Structure 1
């Protein structure tokens, strides 16, 4: 991989444009746009509420840097519209959202939230509307760049996890709290967010919601003290619910849909993953954290002290261990709040054939399961037929330090990047084709050093085309790109 130079950033705000042609960066109160091929600066704007969203040319950047910026004027949210034409930069502490146009440097707009203050701002899927969440769950305001008008939705429940758009962007589905009751509102985004349906929820304290990939169902679940998930359709009918036979004593920690929408995975604090199917919304398989790994699972282990030996330059293959192999699993104290256990991440690759799971009881390990393909006729109607749908543990990657981030490639189905908060990243793939006559793909796991003296990758993010990675440190970032010396598998 080729690495770029290290650049400044603040608040972890670095993002590729949807077309992967530009990179947006926030540096205190400045928005910096770079070309993704050369990393040359093409645009720089000031987003301070004391300025009138004026563009800063490259000649005046030195004077802008020398001026002290108060922390309450720093950018807290910044993102691209879905067509890369616009970008927003919000300062939540001052209740200001600035909107810029990439190809018209003289155009800008501003939203002043006012006394209600601001918690979060983001684009709607149409790329021409902005959602602004106010403090204390008072309301969410949708501002339209086309009409210049706004629409209000009162009392949103959770500004970070209590809403979502249907995959086609037509409807906004948002959890609300009215008269001490959990409710769900469905709003038509194509008609200025007109209320379509509004109905009560069976939850007592809703923790979060997740919309199915086909947009037909919404999964909602209870707060931290009750393990119960409900599945509703957009008409407000409860079509299914699930609670384990043995109550684990704590609530749900992770919920994820299979990309096909046929399965719903639910996990709590007891290191178990329940797999529900769509016909009856009953469990068809159960995955549990294993401390002893046997055949035919492939076990990869990070070589000891490899980063010091290579001085962060070059790459080195994982060590492939011969099973059986034992993994250190911690024993959490369930008498205390937030025990160090449970599933901290569940994510599918782009094709839904591989499932990644990370458990807090085994923080240095990444578990990869081979997930069976599913279609309407594959979903079992009998309990005994569910055996064929049970995922199988395929590979385990063991690291020296706890894993802080693991991301699937958004384009390639067999490509994974991992970070452990150190001066390296880790790559896994099952797409490598050997030189033997079989032509079958094999697994490859590599440790890649970041060629920098002081840089620890605290987070990683793929480019939309899957050809590059953003590596984030606390106050800096760099990018890594694949060397295209040969045709890459797809």
Structure 2
């Protein structure tokens, strides 16, 4: 296992490209694209303001950079560095931005205010769109906006098109604008709901579901992504819809209600209600969900510190996993992280030692011991008088082979629970010294990577556990991580830096 040197980073913005060839990272207002294998800089782009979000297009040819505070989205091309696109939402207020599955449309969610009809005052909610095109784009191209368009003659390869007095404004209302990079056309989706997970695409990229809110009721609209035509529109039996997520096979849409009410509804692609599941009433409900890669199981994590598994045949509960503070089952393996002193042959150690070696000498190293059950885990009682209490199942993820489910109970922040899905029982518990920040499965095999906000990365597989110290100067506190699609490397992110961990081929196999 090898580690790269650390590189500067801001906003935890480090992303592998979908084709696995590039790694994009942000430093304030600069976007840096590196070769994955050599980490040599391939492209360096300068944005108008500090970047708050980045996303690769599905074909890895474009990168979207969103600057929410400024209301601007900039798109950069890897093939044509002299081409880029800028979308300025102006005073509309940019809330979110993402790619469509085809990588040629951008969906901007904006919060706009009431607009006067036909007003051309620059102080109104105007939308300015600036396309800086390469020479193969004709300056006579137009951007169609609500059926009207303007062509501005320009000697330079740039066109500016402004939209004034758009219709249908209501103060504080959201709207999704679909921008086409190919035709420069614009489509609108009204009434999207302001919720954490209100837009979802099927895995094959054919359909998009949008949660909507109008007249104090929740709705779902399903669109065909090829032409953005409405396929289905139906209301949902929710009090205050919180999120939506497609099954990996794209046949079932899960819709769940606010945390104040435990309810999850399952709809078919044509809008039929397949099933409704409610585990209990009069208490905080659903906190997280996860589909298995095969779409056979739906795991539902809730505030009562349990995970319930639904099957895809009857959509009934087949089991529930509890997360008690005491592990008593003798068949459950508990790996406990313990500190250990670094072992160095002092007679071979030069003084003063090299800076990198000195850092590893005085940093706390750790290893795993197998604890004898029963084991009592550190349990934290949440503050009852605060919003979003640290309680319940906040993280859960299936392994790529559908064999394991990893979960985290926020009441027991230092533990990762790994469940055997074939036997429907608890298999392993990882008890860490620090609170779990993030975990993610290797996309190629059942191997889990975990970080806890220190300079170590932890790996679990059915063969066992290992704690790996990230070498280097200073304190590299890993708060997030992401696997490469091949499973042979991963990017480790801290608040100010990132590095790449390369696994040996033997380790990958």
- Superposed CA deviations along residues 61-115 of structure 1, whole A, max 9, x for unmatched, are xxxxxxxxxxxx2111112111111111121122221111102112212212232
- Superposed CA deviations along residues 278-332 of structure 1, whole A, max 9, x for unmatched, are 2322211111013223221111111225589953789864112233323233344
Partner of 2:321: 287
Q: Does 1:275 align with 2:309?
A: yes
How many residue pairs match? The answer is 433
| Structure 2: distance between partners of 1:148 and 1:83 | 19
The equivalent position to 1:362 in structure 2, one of 406, 412, 415, is: 412
Q: CA deviation at 1:10?
A: 1.4
| Structure 2: distance between partners of 1:329 and 1:259 | 31
The equivalent position to 1:112 in structure 2, one of 70, 84, 88, is: 88
Q: Does 1:451 align with 2:486?
A: no
Highest CA radius of gyration, 1 or 2?
Answer: 2
| Structure 2: distance between partners of 1:130 and 1:336 | 37
Local SS of the residue matching 1:186: strand
The equivalent position to 1:408 in structure 2, one of 412, 436, 441, is: 441
Partner of 1:466: 487
- Superposed CA deviations along residues 121-175 of structure 1, whole A, max 9, x for unmatched, are 1111111111111135521111111111111101211364111011111111010
Local SS of the residue matching 1:115: helix
In 2 relative to 1, CA 352–400 (structure 1 residues): closer, same or farther, beyond 3 Å? Answer: same
The equivalent position to 2:286 in structure 1, one of 238, 247, 252, is: 252
The equivalent position to 2:222 in structure 1, one of 186, 207, 210, is: 186
Q: Does 1:297 align with 2:338?
A: no
Q: CA deviation at 1:250?
A: 0.7
* Matches for 1:330-345 after TM superposition, within 5 Å: 330-332=380-382, 334=384, 337-345=387-395
In 2 relative to 1, CA 306–281 (structure 1 residues): closer, same or farther, beyond 3 Å? Answer: farther
Partner of 1:80: 56
Partner of 1:15: 15
Local SS of the residue matching 2:69: helix
| Structure 2: distance between partners of 1:469 and 1:173 | 31
Check conservation: 1:137, 1:158, Cα contact below 8 A.
no
Q: Does 1:418 align with 2:450?
A: yes
Partner of 1:129: 105
Partner of 2:355: none
Check conservation: 1:219, 1:232, Cα contact below 8 A.
yes
TM-score normalised over the length of structure 2: 0.81
TM-score normalised over the length of structure 1: 0.84
Local SS of the residue matching 1:428: strand
In 2 relative to 1, CA 487–369 (structure 1 residues): closer, same or farther, beyond 3 Å? Answer: closer
Per mean C-alpha deviation after superposition, the further-off stretch among 347-356 and 322-331 is: 322-331
Q: CA RMSD in A?
A: 2.1
Q: CA deviation at 1:248?
A: 6.2
The equivalent position to 2:431 in structure 1, one of 398, 401, 407, is: 398
Q: CA deviation at 1:409?
A: 0.8
| Structure 1: distance between partners of 2:90 and 2:439 | 39
The equivalent position to 1:140 in structure 2, one of 140, 163, 176, is: 176
Partner of 2:278: 243
Check conservation: 1:312, 1:424, Cα contact below 8 A.
no
* Matches for 1:129-168 after TM superposition, within 5 Å: 129-135=105-111, 136-158=172-194, 160-168=196-204
Local SS of the residue matching 1:346: strand
Mind listing any 5+ residue stretches in structure 1 that lack a counterpart?
A: 49-72, 373-389, 431-441
Check conservation: 2:10, 2:26, Cα contact below 8 A.
yes
Check conservation: 1:139, 1:152, Cα contact below 8 A.
yes
In 2 relative to 1, CA 400–458 (structure 1 residues): closer, same or farther, beyond 3 Å? Answer: same
| Structure 1: distance between partners of 2:469 and 2:452 | 12
Local SS of the residue matching 2:339: coil
| Structure 1: distance between partners of 2:308 and 2:413 | 20
| Structure 1: distance between partners of 2:328 and 2:453 | 26
Q: Does 1:325 align with 2:325?
A: no
Local SS of the residue matching 1:105: coil
Local SS of the residue matching 2:412: coil
